[in-house]
Chains A and B, each alone.
Chain A
Amino acid sequence: MKLTDREENGVIILEPNGKIMGGPDASLLHDKLYEFIDQDKKKVVVDLSGVDWMNSTGLGILISSYTTLRNNGGKLKLANVTEKIRSLLVITKLEPVFESYDTIADAVKSFDE
């Protein structure tokens, strides 16, 4: 997995790319999240359009990122959830946990509502 990030209207957009399956890159996303929390940037969108698939380690990273932000007064939202990842969220009953949007623009805009 590769991870890039950018900021749009005060919202951090994290863009993981590839497969999220565990191993050495498992902590990349979480570590990056803590960097932003330390900078008091707590509105985060994870863009999943570039993620081919993820396993339970990937779901665990999303959950721990979600709870870490929530516990620090922030919020994590998802954008561009692929059909494969959505089916995993459904079978694990995690779909209602996450706010998800069809586009990054919609996800960013939702922080103003």
Chain B
Amino acid sequence: MHEPIIKGNMISIPSSLEYLTNIDDFIEGILRGFEVEESTIADIAISVSELVNNSVSHGNKSDDGKTVSVSIAKKGNDIEIKIEDQGQGFDPRAISNPLDEENLLKDTGRGIFIVNALMDKVDVQTTKDGTITTITKSIV
């Protein structure tokens, strides 16, 4: 298992939730450098934390020999973030609706729903090597 590695606008962590704060510090630092307003920084940070949680726990199944990488770029008026893991992705249609009466008081199952609500665009691509989730948020 290695420590978090930072190269330019990308950070890579072993698949352990103990590194969530490393990812958050990294992402929020770069967003402040881009002069993104604090409320939008929080929306993006929440979304990244949800997706990294998913990548660590479900994608890589907490195998700390596998890594999760997060890269961030400013493209015009958009912030684009890619979260990559070495798992086999997920089917958004297989996730039950957290707003349904029977799910309302469950303590899990809201992550992807929240990401979809906070971000302008969410794209998931799965290949034989892993899954790349790309989220986009306008900053104007």
Interface residues of B in 42-62 (CB under 8 A from A): 42, 45-46, 49-50, 53
Q: Does B108 contact A (CB under 8 A)?
A: yes
For chain A, the count of residues having a C-beta within 8 Å of the partner chain is 26
Q: If the complex has contacts A22-B53, A57-B53, are A52 and B42 also in contact, measured as CB distance less than 8 A?
A: yes
B17 close to A23 (CB less than 8 A): yes
A24 close to B18 (CB less than 8 A): yes
Please indicate the chain A residues that have their CB under 8 angstroms from the CB of B17 in the complex.
22-24, 26
B18 close to A23 (CB less than 8 A): yes
Please indicate the chain A residues that have their CB under 8 angstroms from the CB of B105 in the complex.
63, 66-67, 97
| Residue interface bits A63-75, CB-to-B below 8 A is 1, else 0 | 1101100000000
Please indicate the chain B residues that have their CB under 8 angstroms from the CB of A93 in the complex.
99, 104
Q: If the complex has contacts A21-B49, A53-B45, A92-B99, are A60 and B20 also in contact, measured as CB distance less than 8 A?
A: no
In the complex, identify which listed stretch (B73-81, B110-118, B119-127) lies at the interface while the others stay far away: B110-118
A23 close to B114 (CB less than 8 A): no
Closest chain B CB from A6 CB (angstroms): 26
Interface residues of A in 2-53 (CB under 8 A from B): 19, 21-24, 26, 52-53
Q: Is the interface of B mostly helix, strand, loop or mixed?
A: helix
Assembly CA distance A97 to B111 (angstroms): 19
| Residue interface bits B68-110, CB-to-A below 8 A is 1, else 0 | 0000000000000000000000000000001100001111111
B111 close to A94 (CB less than 8 A): no
B107 close to A84 (CB less than 8 A): no
A63 close to B45 (CB less than 8 A): no
Q: Quick one: which of B46, B107, B114 contacts A63, CB cutoff 8 A? A: B107
A22 close to B20 (CB less than 8 A): yes
CB nearest neighbor in B for A68: B107
A21 close to B20 (CB less than 8 A): yes
Q: Quick one: which of B18, B39, B46 contacts A55, CB cutoff 8 A? A: B46
Please indicate the chain B residues that have their CB under 8 angstroms from the CB of A66 in the complex.
105
Q: Does A110 contact B (CB under 8 A)?
A: no
A and B contact pairs by CB, cutoff 8 A, 6 listed: A19-B24, A22-B20, A23-B21, A53-B45, A60-B106, A97-B105
Listed from nearest, the 3 A-B pairs whose CB atoms lie closest are A60-B107, A56-B110, A23-B17
Given contacts A64-B107, A91-B117, 9 further A-B pairs with CB under 8 A are: A21-B21, A21-B46, A23-B17, A55-B53, A55-B111, A56-B110, A56-B114, A84-B39, A93-B104
